Structure 1
Amino acid sequence: MPMNESIDPFDPGMTPLLAAAELQDHLMTVTNDLERLQRLLDDAGEALSLHFYSASNHVNGLIQSSGEQASNANPILKKVMEDIAGAITALQFQDMATQLIAHTSQRLRNCADQLARDTFGDDEDGESVVELAPLRPNPVTQDEMDAGSIELF
């Protein structure tokens, strides 16, 4: 069968062994995709952090050079500070997304490992290793982000 042709593991005519192998392949593919997404989010979060700290330092420099009272009256500086607060919210989103991806990857890996162990058993290298599933059902309970008052450092 060609490599790009997919097998349906839920096809009633498929042998249980072949279905389990195909399902395990799908689980591992999804896990690898999540890990790739994790790396993309990490890169974006790092870039966002760098720009946030740079902008924060520039604004703090402007505030110090213009005096505290002048900066409180300057609507442009106030807007910049609001934009920086929005960047903090985005960083919090990136952190929550990272936790969810890691949690989901761990759960999928556990399913794939259990499926392989239960279907194929141990091999000549010894006992099959099954990565532990996360103990908690969900690492992040928040499902939305709102910008609030945030003190910059």
Structure 2
Amino acid sequence: MLTQEAHDTAFDGALPLMAAADLQDDLLVASNDLDRLQRLLSDACDALLGHFYGATGELKQLLHAAVPHPEIDNHQLHVAMEHMAGAITAMQFQDMASQLVNHTARRLRNCADRLARDTMGDDEDGETLVEEAPLRPNPVTQDEMDAGSIELF
């Protein structure tokens, strides 16, 4: 059963200060986790790109060698180049994931800032700053990856 104070608070739309502070902390922790995820995705993609371009360079040298290598099948090289071209589609995942992570982190930060401003008010330093929320509801409209024609070389 709700106390009168809890009942009044529940029905006037305001959160108790401790609940608001806990919720704000949770939103900030989630935002920080998304920032870490963003860095991990970025590092993994940088490594993948380095290996991708290294392998592509080696394959191109073999494919366009002035002296054909009898032990190397040109058809296999072309197939390998097609696989490398297909890898770029997978790397586009990082770009889409990065946009979604950044968008969600900005939304969480906005919610945490608004919650702090609305429940705790301004502090002695002045008005509480609220990071602007993203204007669009979703930065990436695509929800799956399909191979398409991609010109890399």
User: Which shifted more, 74-83 or 131-140?
Assistant: 74-83
* Aligned-pair CA distance for 1:67: 7.6
- What is the number of residues matched between the two proteins? 137
Q: Is there any run of 5+ residues in structure 2 with no aligned partner, and where? A: 1-9
Q: Helix, strand or coil: the match of 2:64?
A: helix
TM-score by length of 2: 0.83
Higher relative contact order, structure no. (Cα contacts within 8 Å, ≥ 6 residues apart): 2
Structure 1 position 59 matched with structure 2 position 59: yes
State how 1:4-153 maps to structure 2 within 5 Å: 16-65=16-65, 74-153=74-153
| CA shift for structure 1 position 91 | 1.4
Question: Considering only aligned residues, what root-mean-square deviation do their CA atoms show, in Å?
Answer: 2.0
Contact 1:48–1:87 (CA under 8 A) maintained in structure 2: no
Unaligned 5+ segments in structure 1 are 1-11
Give the share of equivalent positions with the same residue, in percent. 65
Between structure 1 and structure 2, the one with the greater Rg is 2
Amino acid aligned to 1:51: H
> In 2 relative to 1, CA 46–124 (structure 1 residues): closer, same or farther, beyond 3 Å?
same
* 3-state SS of 2:95 partner: helix
Which moved further from structure 2: 48-57 or 107-116?
48-57
Q: Which runs of 4+ in 1 moved over 6 A?
A: none
TM-score by length of 1: 0.83
Paired amino acid for 1:126: G
Deviation at 1:18, TM superposition (A): 0.7
Structure 2: which amino acid aligns with 1:56? T
- Residue 42 (structure 1) shift: 0.4
Task: Answer whether contact 1:85 1:147 (CA < 8 A) is retained.
Answer: no
In structure 2, distance between residues paired with 1:16 and 1:24: 12
Asked whether the 8 Å contact 1:41–1:94 carries over to 2, the reply is yes
